[in-house]
Every structure is written in C-alpha cells, then in structure tokens.
Amino acid sequence: MKIALIAHDKKKEALITFVKDNIDTFINHGLYATGTTGKMLIEETGLGIHRFKSGPLGGDQEIGAMVANHEIDVIIFFRDPLTAQPHEPDVSALLRLSDVYDVPLATNEGTAGAVMHYINMKDRG
C-alpha cells in the first residue's frame, strides 16, 4: 500500500508522533510526503520516504497527481483548521480527489487511527 503523509506546520510534530506510534505498520508500506514533512519524518523515524516538493512549491499537487493516477492508496494529512498559513497545502483539492478516486483521507489523529486499522486489516488479507 502507498501512503501519503502531509502536515501543516503546527501539526508536523503530531504527525511525527503518530508515525512513531505506528511505525510497525508504516515500515511495511511505500511512503510519500511533502518536502519539509518528509524530511522531518526521515530524521525522526529513519523510514524510507519519497519526498516531493514542499507544500508551497506544489508537493501536495504532486501527491494529488498520484491519487488521480491510482498510485496512492491512503492520505494522512494532519491539518490545522484554525491557524493554517496561506503558504501551507490546501486540503480541499486532495479531499475532492480522494472522494473521486475512493482514497481514504484522514485529516486528524482520530480518523488516522481508524485508517491505520483499515491498513492493518488489508495487510492481514
């Protein structure tokens, strides 16, 4: 399974903690991330992650293109609904694409936990 990881600036630490808490699952899948988030995740977890451009430079759109080409199975996008900055990735386009292509997209830790359960169930066959 191919998993995309994105986080707004104020949610990057929460995503790192989430990935560390679920590293046994993440280690078995192809991981993709926007630039800064991916760099931080690699440094903190040692996981192999394909990094796209940072969000302001179109990394989220690169992930969106993969969704449109059926190359991403799950998106975990920890967003900051209250203080997201204009330069940060916009979840709207990815939400639309995930609905069009039936790709699970988690925007917070609670939903991401449910998505992890989904991934683990798929792994078991």
Give the pairing of strands 30-33 and 74-78.
unpaired
Q: Is 45 annotated as a binding residue?
A: no
67 vs 101: CA distance, rounded Å: 7
92 is in an annotated binding site: no
For residue 111, say whether it is annotated as part of any ligand binding site.
no
For residue 38, the number of C-alpha atoms closer than 13 Å in the C-beta half-sphere is: 19
Q: From the candidates 9, 21, 24, 60, which is the catalytic residue?
A: 60
H or E element that contains 82: none
Helix axes 35-45, 12-21, angle to 10 degrees: 40
Task: Report how far apart the first and last C-alpha atoms of the chain are (Å, whole number).
Answer: 12
Catalytic annotation on 60? Answer: yes
For residue 36, say whether it is annotated as part of any ligand binding site: yes
User: Would the annotation count 87 as a binding residue?
Assistant: yes
Q: Is 46 annotated as a binding residue?
A: no
125 assigned binding-site residue:
no
Known binding-site positions? 8, 12, 34-37, 54-55, 87
Q: Mind telling me the catalytic residues?
A: 60
Could you list the residues known to form a binding site for substrate, using ranges.
8, 12, 34-37, 54-55, 87
